[in-house]
Amino acid sequence: MIESFRIGFRDISKRYGGNSVLEQTGIDIASHDCIVITGKNGAGKTTLLRIIAGLEEPDRGRVILDDGAPQRWRQQRKRLLRSVMYLHQQPYMLAGSLQRNIDYAARLNPAIADRASSVAKAIHWARLDGLEAQAASSLSGGQKQRVALTRARLRDPQILLLDEPTANLDNESRQRTLQMLREFCDSGTAVIIVSHDPDVFGELATRELLLQDHRIRDAAETAHEVVELDSVRQSRQR
């Protein structure tokens, strides 16, 4: 179980060239959260995730841990890298077998005492049994997704970030992915999902946010924004 925690991001701004992507925006995250973020293409959703993950430096921004005082993002970068796990839209498979990919993550977690059994358990948890020796790069999209989630499981992050995790998955893979995400939330991890298709996470999501005009808004806050959100959904369906 993850100990309960809260992390707040404040005043996050990021520009690329002359274009503003994020402007003075923020997000609050707590254990057991499952947040779905929607927004138009190019709205800055991926950038936001990468800033939360410690991978991309914002031009400005502060981070608040639990009840602490706000601190610069840069000062918290190491901590973010340590406690936040970011999954790429196309999960990256390291060279070698599925076993190596999972084992790689287990090696990096000092809390794991019995690596062999932890890896075996994790593989079983992801229903990847029997594929251990297979080259990770030759797995299907759904299987890769589950390998990435299994690596994340062994990492035991406070926050798990996913970029369009269910795009291009068939229904069965999608259900398995959702089941795995639910187990992350149950164990206390905060899960943040960027998706064009928030309906998929309907019952899982504890909050739906909309990234619009460089800012994060609560999707249900105003009728206007609900309409906006609907239009996003409609455009997606069309």
Partner 1 sequence: MDVLLASSAEAFRLLFSGDAEIWEIVGISFRVSSLAILCAVPPALIIAFVLAYGNFFGRRLLISLFNTFLSIPAVVIGLTLFIVLSRQGPLGDFKLLFTQTAMGLGQFLLCLPILVCMVHVSLQAADRAAWETARTLGASRVRAFFTVIYEIRFGLMAALLAGYGRIISEVGASMMLGGNIAHYTRNIPTAIALETSKGAFAEGIALGMVLLFLAFLVNALLQYVQGKGSINP
Q: Which residues bind partner 1 (CB under 8 A)?
A: 53, 55, 81-82, 84-86, 88, 90-92, 94-97, 104-105, 108-109, 135, 137-138, 151, 155
Min separation Cβ 23 and partner 1, Å = 22
- Interatomic CA distance for residues 3 and 187, integer angstroms: 9
Min separation Cβ 81 and partner 1, Å = 6
Min separation Cβ 221 and partner 1, Å = 31
CB-wise, 7 or 232, nearer to partner 1?
A: 7
Closest CA to 121 of 111, 132, 135: 132
Min separation Cβ 212 and partner 1, Å = 27
CB-wise, 20 or 89, nearer to partner 1?
A: 89
CB-wise, 135 or 204, nearer to partner 1?
A: 135
CB-based contacts of 79, cutoff 8 Å, min separation 6: 54, 65
CB-wise, 189 or 212, nearer to partner 1?
A: 189
- Interatomic CA distance for residues 141 and 15, integer angstroms: 32
Min separation Cβ 36 and partner 1, Å = 21
Do residues 176 and 29 touch, judged by C-beta distance below 8 A? no
Closest CA to 98 of 161, 143, 152: 143
CB-wise, 160 or 219, nearer to partner 1?
A: 160
> What phi and psi values does residue 203 have, to the nearest 5 degrees?
-75, -20
CB-neighbour burial class of residue 96 (10 A; exposed 0-12, middle 13-18, buried 19+): middle
